[in-house]
Structure formats: C-alpha cells, structure tokens
Amino acid sequence: MAMISIIIPAYNESDILDMLVKRLLAVTGSWKDSCEIIFVDDGSADNTWQQISEYHKKYPFIKGVKFSRNFGHQSAVTAGLRYVNGDAAIIIDADLQDPPELLGQFIDKWKQGYQVVYAVRKKRKENFLKRFSYFVFYRVLSKLSEIDIPLDAGDFCLMDKKVVDKINSLPEKKRFIRGLRVWVGFKHTAIEYERPARAGGEPKYNFFKLVDLALNGLLSFSSLPLRFASILGLIIAGTSFVGFLFFFIYRVFNLNVFGYSIREATGTATILLTILFLGGIQLITIGIISEYLGRIFEEVKGRPTFIADTTVGFEEIEAGKRG
Ligand code: UDP
Ligand code: MG
C-alpha cells in the first residue's frame, strides 16, 4: 500500500476550506492507498489556521504548517514538498480550481510507472485578460526557456518521491516549481482537464505577484534576454556605422539628395530622436541585466524560502529542521 501526500498552499482561504476538505475526504476515502494532507498556511490573516488545527484534531492525517508571514505561493509549495512523507506528493490549490476528483487518475498513471503526472488546462473559466496573459506567457516561456516546459501546465501535479527529493535538494531559493519539475527530468505524462473558476473568495495572486511569477519563470530558465541585449547593441552599433559611412561620403563629395546638400541640413530632430532612442535601448538593456542581478543578489544572500512558525501533525524538532 502506497502513501500519498497532498500539499495544499492556502492564503486567506477560510471561505472554501470546509468545502475543499469535504471533497478531498470523499475522494481519498475511496482509495486503497493511505494519504496525508498537508496544508501550508502562507501567513493568512483570517481563520485559515484555526480551521486547519480543527481538521487535524478530527482527522490526524490532516497536518499543517503555518508560516510566520506571507511568503508567496511558490514558497508554500516548496515548504509542502519539504514536509511530505509519502511515496508520491500531489500539489493542489485550495480554491478548488484543481478538482480533487482528478487525483485518482494521477495515481493510476503513477502506478503505471510515470514519475511526474501533471495536469494541462484545456479550458479556463477565468476572465479574458487573465486567460490571454497566461496564453501568451506560456508560449513565450516555452520559446525562450532552455528546457521543454509544457504549455498550460501549472503546479497541479503528482510527483514521485524521487522527484520530490531531487527538487528539495536543489539549492536555489526563488523557486518556479513547474520549471524545476521539468528540469530535474524523469518520466512525465500529462492529463487534460478543464479549469473551473474559483469556488469562492478572491484570487490571492494580485497583478504584481503574477508578474513576479512570470518574470521568475522566464529569468530562472532562460538567459536569452541577456543575449537579446547584446544582439540589440550589435544591430544598433552596426546601423550607426553604416550611417556614419553614408554621411561621411555624402559630405566629402558634397552630394545632393532631393536637391539639398547636407551642409544646409540642421537635423535637430534627428539628433534628438537618436539620443532618445539610444538612451531607451540602454535603459532596457540595463534593466534586463538588473533583473538577473537582483536575482543573483537574492540567491547570494541565501535566506530561506520560508520560515515556519508552528506546525500541527509533525514532530516539532523535525519541523524546525525543514524550515
Ligand atoms: N496562495 C498562497 N500564497 C499567496 C497567494 C496564493 O499560498 O501569496 C495560494 C492560494 O491560497 C491558492 C493558490 O495559492 O491555494 C493559488 O492562488 P490563486 O487561486 O489566488 O491563484 P490563481 O488560481 O488565480 O492563479
Ligand atoms: Mg486559483
């Protein structure tokens, strides 16, 4: 009999936790395998943690890790992965956008020998702007990244213990789990599903958190933007050189273009635009470099990805070690 760990990051999800637990218990109750459910409370300000503690009292296999503050979804998933004891770990959102009813299929595939089973969203029931941004993001990411990141696959997945251990042993602090999952390799397979809308409450990812996630995904798995900076530089330097030659010949031989000689042209607008254009390009390239530099800075500081305040269902000593 296998043991399955289910990881659920939750940030102010008090409204839907009861519904989630009910649906999860209905699903896991019919399994032959045993399971543990690990909630990671990402610094919620509502009743999330009290509810998790209540669930633990009622069902000891429901456990919880409470962060000392909000560290973000990817950190919560990272924590969950550090606390699992199962032969396989499943990552699922708290808002029921990842239907628990799919978990049986994940486990079937895993038993067929796949070490990573991830869910691909065929359709999304979210607003157009969000759907469109995700659509573009995953396509840009797959073009730029050095690994084969599947399109429209989020964190909803099952990973074998081996894969989890490998991901846990990676030293990087700022983690893009759905990328690392591909990076570590092993045998993958996909399951398609329709992503429903949130079961209740507000989305906990705001615009800035989403941009941060997207940038993190792009920059952690691609150095192409840096190359883009050098290519842009080369193109502009090359064009200016040709322009210089052109004007040099033009002036030395005092040629006329459209009846005008260059000596009569003042060209203020041209100069101004050129300076602005070049200034813009320089800022963009410095910006790209800074994004990487900022990330290097974060990594070099070596601060932990999360800090756990308390836990329920884990031995405290053990719990402290994983933080
Ligand atoms: N979440 C979290 N910390 C955060 C933001 C979100 O743990 O800072 C959790 C949230 O509770 C949910 C999951 O991450 O279980 C996905 O968040 P959300 O539904 O807001 O994102 P979306 O589905 O809109 O991408
Ligand atoms: Mg959601």
Instruction: Inform me whether the pLDDT recorded for 232 exceeds 60.
Output: yes
Which protein residue's CA is at the shortest distance from atom 17 of ligand 1?
A: 204
- Strands 62-67 and 308-312: what pairing? antiparallel
pLDDT in tens, 174-206: 899 999 999 999 999 999 998 888 888 788 887
Q: Is any atom of ligand 1 closer than 6 Å to the C-beta of 94?
A: yes
Six-digit token string for 59: 């069902």
Cα three-residue angle 213-218-322, rounded to 5 degrees: 55
pLDDT in tens, 254-275: 777 777 776 666 777 778 788 8
Ligand with an atom nearest the CA of residue 76: 1
- Is the pTM for the entire model greater than 0.85? no
pLDDT for res 116? 96
Instruction: Inform me whether the pLDDT recorded for 2 exceeds 80.
Output: yes
Which residue's structure tokens are 């759907």?
Answer: 131
pLDDT in tens, 261-311: 766 667 777 787 888 888 888 888 888 888 899 889 989 998 999 999 999
Estimate to the nearest angstrom the gap between the alpha carbon of 274 and the chain centroid: 38
> Residue ranges of the alpha helices (H) in the chain?
14-28, 48-58, 73-83, 103-111, 128-144, 161-169, 177-183, 207-220, 224-252, 268-301, 316-322
Q: Is 42 helix (H, G, I), strand (E, B) or coil?
A: coil
Please give the distance, rounded to the nearest whole angstrom, from the Cα atom of residue 161 to the centre of ligand 1. Answer: 24
307 closest CA partner among 40, 44, 12, 67: 67
- The C-alpha atoms of residue 98 and residue 91 are separated, in whole angstroms, by 9
- The C-alpha atoms of residue 57 and residue 66 are separated, in whole angstroms, by 16
**Region 140-162 average pLDDT:** 88
**Cα within 13 Å of Cα(114), Cβ side:** 16
Domain boundaries, the chain: 3-221+304-319, 224-301
Ligand with an atom nearest the CA of residue 202: 1
- The C-alpha atoms of residue 94 and residue 203 are separated, in whole angstroms, by 11
pLDDT in tens, 59-108: 999 999 999 999 999 999 999 999 999 999 999 999 989 999 999 999 99
Task: Ligand 1 pocket test: pick from 73, 124, 212 the residue with the most ligand atoms within 8 Å of its Cβ.
Answer: 73
Superfamily for the 3-221+304-319 domain: Spore Coat Polysaccharide Biosynthesis Protein SpsA; Chain A (3.90.550.10)
